[in-house]
Amino acid sequence: MAVALSGGADSVFLLHLIARSIPRPKALAIHVDHGLRGSESGGDAEFCARLCAKLGIPFARRVVEIDPEAGDLEARAREARYRALAEEASAAGIPVLLTGHHEDDAVETLLMRWMRGTDMAGLAGLRRETVLGKAHAETVKLRVLRPLVALRREEVRSALRREGLEWREDSSNTSTRFTRNRVRHQVLPEIEAKCGEEGVENFFDFARAIESFEDEIADRTAHIQWEPVAHEAARRSTSMPDLGGRVRRETLADLEAPFMRRALGRLIGEGTGKRPGRDFLSHLAEDITEGRTGRREVHQGWSVQLQSDAMHLTPPSGSLTGSPGSSPSEISQGGTAIAEPVSQTKARPAPKAPKVEGAAQASPHAERPQEAPLSRPLAEGAPATETEYELQPAPRQAPTTITGHGLALGIPGSVQLPDGRSIHAEFVTSGDATDSSTTTVEIDAAQADGLRVRFERPGDRFWPLGAPGHKPLRRFLGSVGIPREERGQVPVVVSSEDILWVAGVRIAEHHKVTETTARRIRLSMRGARGE
């Protein structure tokens, strides 16, 4: 487990409880330094490091940069803190995060939400358990547990004083600049003065009742979860973060409006790390009910796209590559074409013929010389087998990149894409059956000469398998649920300007294998997510 350690009384108390537990669990203490209080912030970090050393608990410090002059500092600091905690826990493979929130924090949160406006789910205050979605933790969903939520603030401090244990006081907790501090030091004392201690306690009871009611409602929609993004292999390599997803529209449309809004709020909150507002959820639920299609921006670059069959969640541009601001065309540059040797099964050597374009190197790490196949056209009546091809050494060529024309794909051969995926081609021997999938297909080898691999270009047209004719490639990709932000990451295999295969999606109608096919080419993609 991971423990959020600020150095304040609550997190220090929680860390001591963990250190004294029998058996003692494995724990990682994570301190997030916002750097907003100068030397005081540094002192908090040093205190936490010394405490963890004393207790024998591993310690990690994360520094986040926040503009103190920009608006909504409180919310931005909270968002940055949880993101840093989730990233650190995720990097360590830890799926559970403990925080020191107590009952006073819960009622303060309830009052803040009430004053700002919230739906019923928000009136539950701080839950004992929540889940941070993939937007925060890229490799695991992070469960956030609050084991102290039944304790009052003063109970925690009294316990520390009895044990003679130290903690750090955050000077910013007295500043009325922050809404929580105004609620803590002004609103709650006023309620207690007017209504007595039971007035504050009634808020706790109210929050517990709402939480129980919300849990019952949540059970009704808990089965609805994000599925992998449409045509995952076409868009994502295994090295990319698992962000976004889709939900079948019919699953949502069957829900009554209140349940639909709750399901949408949970799904988008888990997927993006932030639950959208009431108005957004109401409009989105209305779109689904009325059968509309279209696109809505959520927040911070996230968007949802409604198609006739599904709702798609799309992450911000650049989030899949770790290079914010990069466009798909920039991301798609680079790559390596590699010729692959094949085994000879026929003793009779085949006559030599002009070389097929061979191994173009774009990777500085590939130092060994490559081999490229030599081929000759099949003689009339000759068997269509792999044995009609032999290998000859090819001279090493200068580096190249995936430009508009793409990289040459030898047969046999492969092209390494910049994101870790690779496209492979080989001739299929007679009787060698292939189990077709989204990442492995066969095409008719006729009129499939000079194969190249590239990415989408303006003006591209494609005749999908089963379609009556050509259509713009961008329109085809949109129709199968691939958003415009990721269309530049879908590789295509072309012969001249004819698209034979939109990798991971579909082959071309006029290159499908039929009963009259004499030669077949097997195309496959490796290193793709969901292959």
Q: Which of 343, 322, 339, 340 is nearest to 331 (CA)?
A: 322
| Domain boundaries of the chain, sorted by first residue | 2-221, 244-314, 329-526
| Residue 217 to residue 220: CA distance in whole angstroms | 5
Helix (H, G, I), strand (E, B) or coil at 389: coil
Tell me: cis bond preceding 228? Omega within 30 of 0 counts: no
CA dist 272 and 136 (Å) reads: 8
Q: What is the CATH number of domain 2-221?
A: 3.40.50.620
Residue range 452-464: average pLDDT? 93
pLDDT surpassing 70 at residue 71: no
pLDDT greater at residue 329 or residue 40: 40
For residue 363, pLDDT over 50 is answered with: no
Reported as a pLDDT band with limits 50, 70 and 90, residue 126 is: low
Instruction: List the single range of 356-365, 401-410, 438-447 with lowest mean pLDDT.
Output: 356-365
Which segment of 373-387, 448-462, 479-493 scores lowest on mean pLDDT? Answer: 373-387
240 pLDDT more than 80: yes
Please indicate, yes or no, whether the overall pTM of this predicted structure exceeds 0.85: no
Where is 15: in which H helix or E strand?
A: helix 9-20
**What is the reported pLDDT for 391?**
29
Higher pLDDT, 368 or 517: 517
423 strand-pairing partners:
415, 525
How far is residue 116 from each of residues 109, 123, 188, measured CA to CA in Å?
11, 11, 16
Beta-strand runs (E) in 5-158? 28-33, 59-63, 96-98, 129-132, 142-145
Question: Interior CA angle at 530 toward 525 and 531, to 5°?
Answer: 35
Q: 274 falls in which pLDDT band (50, 70, 90)?
A: confident
Sheet holding 294-297, edge to edge: 245-248, 310-314, 303-306, 294-297
CATH among 3.40.50.300, 3.30.465.60, 3.40.47.10, 3.40.50.2300 for 244-314: 3.30.465.60
* Cα gap 318→315, rounded to integer Å: 8
What sign does the CA torsion over 507, 510, 511, 514 have? positive
